[in-house]
Structure 1
Amino acid sequence: MIRRLFTGLVLAAAAQLPALAQLTNSGTDKFAQLETTLPSPNVYRTASGAPGPQYWQQRADYAIKVTLDDEKQAIRGSETITYTNLSPDTLPYLWVQLDQNIMDKNSMTTSTQVSSIQNDKFSFQALDHLIRNDFDGGFKIESVTGADGKKLPYVINYTMMRVDLPRPLRPKQKVSFNISWHYNINDQLKYNQRSGYEFFPDDKNYLYEIAQFYPRMAVYSDNQGWQHKQFLGNGEFTLPFGDYRVSITAPADHVVGATGTLQNAAQVLTATQLKRLEQAKNAKKPVLIVTQEEATRNESSRAKGSKTWTYAAKNVRDFAWASSRKFIWDAMQIKQSGKPVLCMSYYPKEGNPLWGQYSTEVVAHTIKTYSKYTIPYEYPVAISVHGPVGGMEYPMICFNGGRPEKDGTYSAQRKYGMISVIIHEVGHNFFPMIINSDERQWSWMDEGLNTFCQYLTEQEWQRDYPSQRGEPKNIVEYMRTDKSLQTPIMTNSESVLQFGPNAYAKPATALNILRETVMGRELFDHAFKTYAQRWAYKHPTPADFFRTMEDASAVDLDWFWRGWFYTVDRSDLALESVKYYNVNTKNPAVESARAQKQQAAEPLTLSQQRNARDIKSTLLDEKPELKDFYNSYDPLAVSEADKAEYFSYLKTLTPQQQQRLSDNLNFYELSFRNVGGLVMPIVLQITYDDGSQEIQNIPAEIWRKNNEHVTKVIATQKPVISFLLDPYLQTADTDLSNNAFPRQPAPSRFELFEQQGFGNNSRQSQNPMQKAKQQGTNTPK
């Protein structure tokens, strides 16, 4: 129950409470504006967060020919890059990215890898990364020439190559040059990079997921010039837009899927496959272009010769492809904002039954849902390819893991993990393939925003989908960790300490809290869509995102960006105390009844209880003549004089003031403390004595004059029996033990086990589908 204090006092107005006299507190003002932190607006990027009237960006168009060597697992290629200078600057040289050089024996990634030998143990995997002298996967540049065929001087600095131009490239001019190269493809299971091959020993086939396979132009932008920070592994790719035409020569029995649309389908596909592709355009479920039976037969073939698959893509920032004779291929076309989108999946039989049942359906669902929350998807295809590990994204195509057991069964975790990774990687078509942020600098701008949209898409796939990221309660464990183990979200990609929580989960959670608790869905969704519309096919920065979200919503969010993105403060609001007050009505009848009720509710002290038992009679019991006036006086009795005094008092009040006296309101002074340092809205659940409840949402601005401690008085018609902060776990509060008043123990559980031999002889448990098969019951659908 709430403690009752100072009953009978006349309550002062809330604005006059002493706690609000504390206008300042020590430390940084958490509501200070970000104007001095964010870059100054200019003609390229406005203060509203929109592109400015003189915004520009460069363009790079590619004509690429590449050959896959299935015997040696190698790539050989040549390209012509046409680079258009749309900046106001004259460029004497160009920077080209050689990201494949992360696999070079002498890569900066390997040489700067930190490691230690702990407890006299060092893993084989760590040793492989330390030595890595049995594989060289870096680019071997064969030539760099101009359009006239003459050699161009170039310098390679790890993953960057400077190409010196014969004459400076002036504004509005373009230049074409050629590069030839080759490199060895890595085994993804041994050297886990973003692309590579998987070898299947049973049928001795390879599955190739190929990306970063060609030298790519670096971005030259208005806000930082050349983005030529070295590729070390975490900070991904910053690339300009352009048109691509790529010819991929592979073994004749391979199936090749890629970014863009197939230009020579009649030359590389069979009549049956062409017919099935046409059927897929009007199908309500995926149509098999290459069936599992056909793919299985193809595994044993070793066709002589090769085929060249030509793909073209317009206004994309990158290109990737996949090739294997093991591929099953299915497709289903959907309409998005009236435009057809061919959703497809390529996967080996080892991916079934999961992939055949879900992959393409997930692709289609993702395109529809992301388009609703951001911008309509405008590319003609969207592809999911099944490989051995993880997930990785490229325009119109992505590589995804999630493989069932060999017997075809799978756990719920494997199923939802596969669906989630496909949603996430297909979703990257929007962030950053279209809304093209600088991944090399700020991973959160693509990973975090994409993970947030992934959460929205998962929840629209299945009610109560078991999302791993997005819900505020899921980030609590990370935010509880020691601050020395955390970095702010606004940290360069290569300097982040805990990459998954920092770049994916925390920003996604922050956006969910903005949507549900700070701004509301209507304001947030409009602002988020505005950001996507403004920066589609452009290069936004964090400031553009922050400013647009405020500009489109009229919500000052500087305190939120500062706390969530620039610090490692945690959310932990405490309800320290509650005091209960009544208004003194001065009505003797009311006040007397109230005092009698309170007096009756007061418990007997331990001494009073024992005295009643042990003292058989008092002196006054034995000598009544010792009693006087006060022994029979009742201070709570209402006299005629008390009534007259009350009526005289009423005459001095206005009718409105008289009504306030008779309202019989309950007043509670609540004391809040910001323990974690992160200012957040106060979400307060009030439970009344009749069992009913009410939620009050107090904006974070309550902390603006004192970031650490505030008090607030609330008035209620009904008596309150309890208060609870964050009842729906919507603020990522890291300590729930101080949220309730009266205090409530946080429920938890523990397991009992035998000390001897605990943890030994444990076996891998079967998944529920395997157990069902073993018991002879039907496998759940």
Structure 2
Amino acid sequence: MLKSTLLTAGLAALLALPTVAQTTNSGTDKFAQLETLLPTPNVYRTASGAPGTDYWQQRADYNIRVRLDDEKQAISGDEDITYTNLSPDVLTYLWVQLDQNILDKNSITTATQLGEIQPKMPFQAVDYMQRSDFDGGFKISEVKLKGGRALPYVINHTMMRVDLPTPLKPKQSVTFSIGWRYNINDQTKINQRSGYEFFPEDKNYLYEIAQFYPRMAVYSDYQGWQNKQFLGNGEFALPFGDYRVSITAPADHVVGATGVLQNPNDVLSSTQRQRLSQALNAKNPVLIVSPQEAEKAEQSRAKGTKTWTYAAKNVRDFAWASSRKFIWDAMGIKQNGVPVMCMSYYPKEGNPLWGKYSTEVVAHTIKTYSKYTIPYDYPVAISVHGPVGGMEYPMLCFNGGRPEKDGTYTAERKYGMISVIIHEVGHNFFPMIINSDERQWTWMDEGLNSFVQYLTEQEWERDYPSRRGEPAKIVDYMRTDKSLQTPIMTNSESVLQFGNNAYGKPAIGLNILRETIMGRELFDYAFKTYAQRWAYKHPTPADFFRTMEDASAVDLDWFWRGWFYTVDHTDLAIAGVKQYNVNSQNPDIENARQRELAAKNPGSISQQRNRKDIAKTLVDEKPELNDFYNQYDPLTTTPADKQRYQQLVKGLSAEQQQRLGSGLNFYEVSLKNLGGLTMPIIMQLTYQDGQKEIQHIPAEIWRKNNAEVSKVFITEKPVVSFVLDPFQQTADTDLSNNAWPQQAAPSRFELFEYQQRQQPNPMQQQSALQQKEQKPLTTPAGSTGGTK
């Protein structure tokens, strides 16, 4: 709504001041500090968000021997665990995670699995419901102390308590061993974080193996033992340590794993070792095992075995992959002068995508994440292609993204594969190095990682089609019914809409902080500080929140409270605009202005119709009824008017005289916070001459009244429109109320005819056209893998 009103100079000056005397709306103060929600700082974790002077964490070192049975698709192994108590507490028992027990027939996950029967269901869904015929889970054969003494233990679903013969005092260590076996799940039927894929064409298996050994749980200063059951969503909380793992597999298999290969002379040919040496300083990926060599290996069936031994220092976990189908390429990069070998393992079914892109993506990810967080100082980074859609472990990750059998692929498949590799390799930083508790807070792992993934994607290719990152990408989720949402600060197993809540919303929240609230310089410094402080340690949400504020001098409690602790959404609205101009008091100027306005005013509807319907009024018929006022024109300037104006001007200072005649435009814009989520105001002003101006108003404008405020804009040129959040920086869920005058939100709808037959992808269409014209299809360079 537009109003034109004449004001005195004094009132105009008052409007130029910020409005401060507003009444706070009822409900929680959105700018209240978070002290009541965050844990009390102590000697272990400071109020600044940094580790305290007495910070400690436990250590677990492993020596593991594991055997892969390629005939029965089974694992057997034994391990020695040296657990060091660096806490101030005396421990009488230890908790060990048995994550494979999620596949036990009687697991909590199986018993509490939700489901429903549909009129039409895929075989895979029924297979999943009938998975009780799979004999999954760990079979523990022994738990014993170093020296052979059996240790009592109790298995509680996915957790195992090991009772110690004598209490483990601070600074003491204990070494014990565990023997186990389990059956490997078919990943195409039981979709877990690891498993096998069977290729019927050549009757080979590809194994991606993780959670394959009993793993120590975290014991921390903020919660004691992290012994929550593994139900499926909440991933893993693990202590750091050194690993030595010996993997026995069929002799014709290629085995890739976390860490550095310790016995290359025993398992690699001289040619393969030479290629690895060449790859260290290569500018492009070098094939260690070529596609031709992998295809030849597919036809072999070695009777013997080989043992591959890998070692990794200061890691929280270990994973590996094994297959005779593997093509293997590698390329070295350097981080802070330290060489990092970037590598990929993939079957021929992954080409041409994998040979062209995978290792290049690995290297790009390590470089970019190192820039935004901390330098990567592990010696290798590996991407493995197989049945798992995407899963991360130290130095090694499993990734999906397979082209069609004819080698073509859609753009969505290409970018999906690149994105999943960036995401999973990026997990080396969050949470493999900056080691948050995934069992409790998925967002600290997935959300932070998805944010840096977005930054990395944008540095891969201009305008990369990122799935997450831009605020507009989370709008559909945030406008859904609140009963279908949970706050980000919800335990991993209780989160609703897992992908949006744990990945998208925190990642986009960080992007809003970086681009709109803090600015890139302050944000990047604070985010890097958090990574530096908590590298190889166990941070909590409070440590992250406090560090971001401590390193930037920006009070963000209002943002953490709204974005992370509630399900409020952004919906800022322009409720109305009032336009004012200063009354110059000059009778010549003001009378002329009033006369111009009167000429443009057609009058009321009654007045318009009366001019037509009333031919003559009584005064028209009897002129003698006229008097002084029928001839008087109040808009004609008189000598008395000029005299009053001159006297007024004499009483004003030079500054006041200038303001009186400035001709400035005053706009009082009324704003409402309809969604409940506090955000800065980004206002675009469009002037009468077409020029645009963006004004950024910090979120603190809402501190006196969380629901509605007014803001005065003073301009030299007339404004023809105001638009809130013109670049969609704040995830505003309703753009229809963001403009004055109101604007229709542009959109389109598509007409289509339903077709059941799958359409060829663009590469297939091009191939068919070129074959028709007898032209060869252009094959991407490097499509068969790396360079020899």
Measured in 1, the distance between the counterparts of 2:600 and 2:508 equals 47
Deviation of 1:598 after TM superposition, in Å, equals 2.3
Q: Does the 8 A contact of 1:404 with 1:410 survive in 2?
A: yes
CA distance in 2, matches of 1:423, 1:287: 20
Which residue is equivalent to 2:54?
54
SS at match of 2:464: coil
- Map 1:165-564; keep pairs closer than 5 Å: 165-564=164-563
Letter in 1 for 2:368: T
Instruction: Identify if the C-alpha distance between structure 1 residues 353 and 240 changes in structure 2 by more than 3 Å, giving closer, same or farther.
Output: same
Aligned amino acid, residue 79 of structure 2? E
Letter of the 2:53 counterpart: P
Letter in 2 for 1:32: A
3-state DSSP of counterpart to 1:304: coil
Unaligned runs of 5+ in 1: none
Residue 263 of structure 1 aligns with an amino acid whose one-letter code is: Q
In structure 2, the CA distance between the partners of 1:726 and 1:269, relative to structure 1 (3 Å rule), is same
- The Cα shift of 1:100 comes to 0.7
AA aligned opposite 1:66: V
After alignment, is 642-651 or 402-411 more displaced?
A: 642-651
**C-alpha separation in 1, matches of 2:116 and 2:266:** 55
Taking the aligned partners of 2:670 and 2:137, their CA distance within structure 1 comes to: 62
Deviation for aligned residue 1:605 = 4.3
Cα RMSD between the aligned structures? 1.7
- Corresponding position of 2:784: none
User: How has the CA–CA distance of structure 1 residues 16 and 275 changed in structure 2, closer, same or farther, with 3 Å as cutoff?
Assistant: closer
Secondary structure of 1:356's aligned partner: helix
Task: State the match for 2:36 in structure 1.
Answer: 36
The question of 1:653 aligning with 2:647 is answered no
Q: CA separation in 2, counterparts of 1:244 and 1:94?
A: 19
Q: What whole-Å deviation, never above 9, does each CA across 1:199-250 have from its counterpart, x for those lacking one?
A: 0000000000000000000000000000000000000000000000101111
Say whether 1:24 aligns with 2:15: no
Relative distance call for 1:18 and 1:322 in structure 2 (3 A) is closer
1:568-592 deviation digits (Å, cap 9, x = unpaired)? 0000001010001111121112212
In 1, distance between residues paired with 2:626 and 2:742? 46
TM-score of the two chains, using structure 1 as the length reference: 0.97
Assess if the C-alpha contact under 8 Å between 1:110 and 1:129 holds in 2: no
Gap change, CA 1:276 and 1:26, over 3 Å in 2: same
Q: Does 1:774 align with 2:768?
A: yes
1:271-299 deviations in whole A, cap 9, x for unaligned?
A: 11111111111111101111111111111
Q: Which stretch of the first structure deviates more once superposed, 24-33 or 373-382? A: 24-33
Task: Determine the C-alpha separation between the residues in 1 that align with 2:500 and 2:573.
Answer: 25
Q: Distance in 2 between the 1:579 and 1:450 partners?
A: 45
Instruction: State the distance in 2 between where 1:177 and 1:8 align.
Output: 85
Higher alpha-carbon deviation: 350-359 or 707-716: 707-716
Q: Which residue of 2 aligns with 1:633?
A: 632
Q: How do 1:586-597 and structure 2 match up within 5 A?
A: 586-597=585-596
Aligned to 1:103: 103
SS in 1 for 2:6: coil
Structure 1 CA distance, aligned partners of 2:394 and 2:602? 73
CA contact (8 A) 1:679 1:700 kept: yes
Out of 753, 757, 763, the residue aligned to residue 763 of structure 1 is 757
**AA matched with 1:550:** E
Deviation at 1:594, TM superposition (A): 2.3
Counterpart code for 1:772: Q
Distance 1:186 1:720 in 2: 66
Q: 1:454 to 1:199 in 2, by over 3 A?
A: same
Gaps of 5+ in 2: 781-788
Distance 2:134 2:120 in 1: 24
SS in 2 for 1:422: helix
Structure 1: how far apart are the matches of 2:690 and 2:596?
21
Percent identity of paired positions between Structure 1 and Structure 2: 75
Report if aligned partners of 2:73, 2:184 keep a CA contact under 8 Å in 1.
yes
Tell me: CA distance 1:95–1:511, structure 2 relative to 1, closer, same or farther (3 Å).
Answer: same
What are the Cα deviations for residues 432-472 of structure 1, in whole angstroms up to 9, with x where unaligned? 00000000000000100000000000000011100010100
Contact 1:9 1:581 in 2 (8 A): no
Question: Residues 612-658 of structure 1, C-alpha deviation per residue, up to 9 Å, x if partnerless?
Answer: 55555555555555443333322222222111111111122122111
Moved more, 495-504 or 600-609: 600-609
Q: Which moved more, 1:275-284 or 1:725-734?
A: 275-284
Letter in structure 1 aligned against 2:137: G
- The whole-number CA distance in structure 2 between the counterparts of 1:566 and 1:15 is 36
Give me the whole-angstrom Cα distance separating, in 2, the residues matched to 1:741 and 1:255.
Answer: 65
SS of aligned partner of 2:147: coil
Q: Match of 2:111, as an amino acid?
A: S
Whether the 8 Å contact between 2:298 and 2:325 is mirrored in structure 1 is yes
Checking the alignment, whether the CA contact within 8 Å between 1:769 and 1:780 is kept in structure 2 is no
Question: What amino acid sits opposite 1:61 in the alignment?
Answer: D
- Per the alignment, residue 601 of structure 1 pairs with 600
Query: Which segment drifts farther, 275-284 or 536-545?
Result: 275-284
Q: Which residue of 1 aligns with 2:785?
A: none
Q: CA deviation at 1:122?
A: 6.3
| Residue equivalent to 2:158 | 159
- 1:389·1:402 contact (CA, 8 Å) conserved in 2? no
How far apart, CA to CA, are the structure 2 residues paired with 1:621 and 1:684? 54
Distance 1:542 1:359 in 2: 33
Is the deviation greater in 11-20 or in 352-361?
A: 11-20
Asked whether the equivalents of residues 257 and 318 of structure 2 are also in contact (C-alpha less than 8 Å), the reply is: yes
Q: Name the counterpart of 2:749.
A: 750
The AA in structure 2 aligned to 1:770 is: Q
Give the counterpart letter for 1:110 in structure 2.
T
CA contact (8 A) 1:580 1:669 kept: yes
Q: 1:15 to 1:562 in 2, by over 3 A?
A: farther
Aligned residues, how many? 774
User: Take 1:597 and 1:269, find their aligned partners in 2: how far apart are those partners?
Assistant: 93
| Equivalence for 1:90 | 90
Report the counterpart of residue 70 of structure 1 in structure 2.
Answer: 70
TM-score by length of 2: 0.96
